[in-house]
Amino acid sequence: MTIAGARRKVPLWLATVALAAAGLVACNSEGSGAHPADESVGASSGHPNIVWVLTDDLSSDLVNYMPHVKAMQKAGLSFSNYTVTDSLCCPSRSSIFTGKFPHNTGVFTNTPPDGGFQTFHDKGNEDKTFATALKKQGYRTAMMGKYLNGYQPDMTLDGEKNYVPPGWDEWDVAGNGYKEYDYTLNQNGRTVDYGHDPKDYLTDVVNAKGQDFIEKSVQDKKPFVLDISTFAPHGPATPAPQDEGKYKNLKLPKPPAFDRTPTDAPQWLKDKKAFTPQQIEKITKTYRKRVRAVQAVDRMIGDLQEKLKKEGVYDNTVFAFASDNGFHMGQYRLMPGKQTAFDTDVNVPLVVTGPGVERGATTGAVASNIDICPTFTELGGGTPDPSTDGRSLVPLLKGETPKDWPQTALVEHHGPNTSPQDPDKPRKDSGNPPSYEALRTRQYTYVEYKNGSHEYYDRSKDPDMLHNVYAGLSSDTKSQLAASLAKLQDCKGSKECSAAARVDG
């Protein structure tokens, strides 16, 4: 069945999703309701395969240079209000895997004691991911590329040498793969060193491995979920060999917020000076490198799609693309970086194609990375566990918005980031805000810093977030915002968190 035909004929997975196991098999399920391991549940029930391509530090403006992603936008559903729980790799990815806010995963940063892979592991999060849920549903599962900050391919953990987390049938994961060369992969419990030859370029390596995984899964007649998480375009944003000479004269985008600070900016931001010509040139060079770096990612998307078609499973595969966080490039007088509550950093692309998914549409419904795990779980025939904070996006994929759908996304950030071991430690003048929590709705962004300062941007009137109007809000409005934030940052489970995320509830 073609994607276009999905609008006329209900896919089998949608017709049978209500017939999932009687027990809970979910993002953080302990295994109740699991089918016998020798049953190919997904194949027998018609549930779709899932391909999840997650980039690192990709900002929305880079999509303009990714033709396969733009084609996905025409073929599927785009989310204009998709928000990450923090503009930082490890907490964001932890939320994706588990469907939980940082205050429930315990992962707020990239390094211990309040973040990183070790914290994620120690708090038991690895037993409660979409991989463990889908594996129990009979899926073959694969993780390739970047996992969580602090994970090392050759590490020994819980007595296991070259540790591989539970739930994954195929594991091809690097530790430090930011340079795209000279890295080590843990390949199913065996470490393999890669060098600096063109064939060792990491994005191309996982591209090939992903295609191989698809082929073997189809041969075995098993439904599958493939998670390919690239290091690109995270710095140093190394391009593939064939892209090194491209975009040499590309102009730097200068949106309204470029080289400007908001009115009544918070203390950490308000004293930023106007850029020098040298700083603008540095930002421009970084931007060009990032555009070059995503070319291999875009080609990989096209290659994976072609492989799915060749194997005859494209029409029964949900294909999703997103980023773990955004990235500012000169906005608000900040050198390239992230970790702020501005839309440049927390509002990232999410595009989904597949059977039953609306074609060429955009939804403005509030969505968050805590929704990915329950979505994959439901797509695979499981029932999202109520202890998961997020909600399945499946109704939105079908063009429906439930009446009780969340209206607010939560962002939680611990800062300033000063760890010398962190590859995301902000560079000079790139922005390093103190700890904050933020609410992001379709209309506004509210930020509450631990040091007592506040921001409120009415994005319906000020989409570039250049006017902090918090001081002019009524005392009742300020109290309501503080109360709403307090509810969300303490919530646990989808029912409680969904209620806390309702403006009217």
Which residues are designated catalytic? 89
Burial class (CB in 10 A: 0-12, 13-18, 19+), 303: middle
Q: Which residue's structure tokens are 């998307």?
A: 301
CA dist., res. 104 & res. 99, Å (int): 10
Structure-token pair, residue 158: 């819980």
DSSP three-state, residue 278: helix
Q: What angle do CA 222, 223, 225 make, to 5 degrees?
A: 125
Task: Look up residue 256 and give its DSSP letter.
Answer: T
In DSSP terms, which residues pair with 170 in a beta bridge? Answer: 142
Comparing CA positions, the residue from 319, 438, 345, 365 lying closest to residue 87 is 345
Structure-token pair, residue 152: 């090392």
Pairing of strands 49-55, 224-229: parallel
Alpha carbon distances (Å) from 203 to 192, 294, 318, 425, 493: 16, 10, 21, 24, 36
CA dist., res. 139 & res. 317, Å (int): 13
DSSP three-state, residue 21: coil
Supply φ then ψ for residue 304, to 5 degrees.
-65, -40
Q: What angle do CA 220, 128, 175 make, to 5 degrees?
A: 75
CA dist., res. 479 & res. 474, Å (int): 9
Measured between its terminal Cα atoms, the distance across the chain in Å is: 41
CA dist., res. 285 & res. 120, Å (int): 35
Alpha carbon distances (Å) from 445 to 350, 438, 440, 481: 19, 7, 5, 10
Pairing of strands 170-174, 77-79: unpaired
State the sign of the Cα–Cα–Cα–Cα dihedral 209, 214, 219, 221.
positive
Alpha carbon distances (Å) from 486 to 321, 387, 444: 31, 19, 17
Supply φ then ψ for residue 295, to 5 degrees.
-65, -40
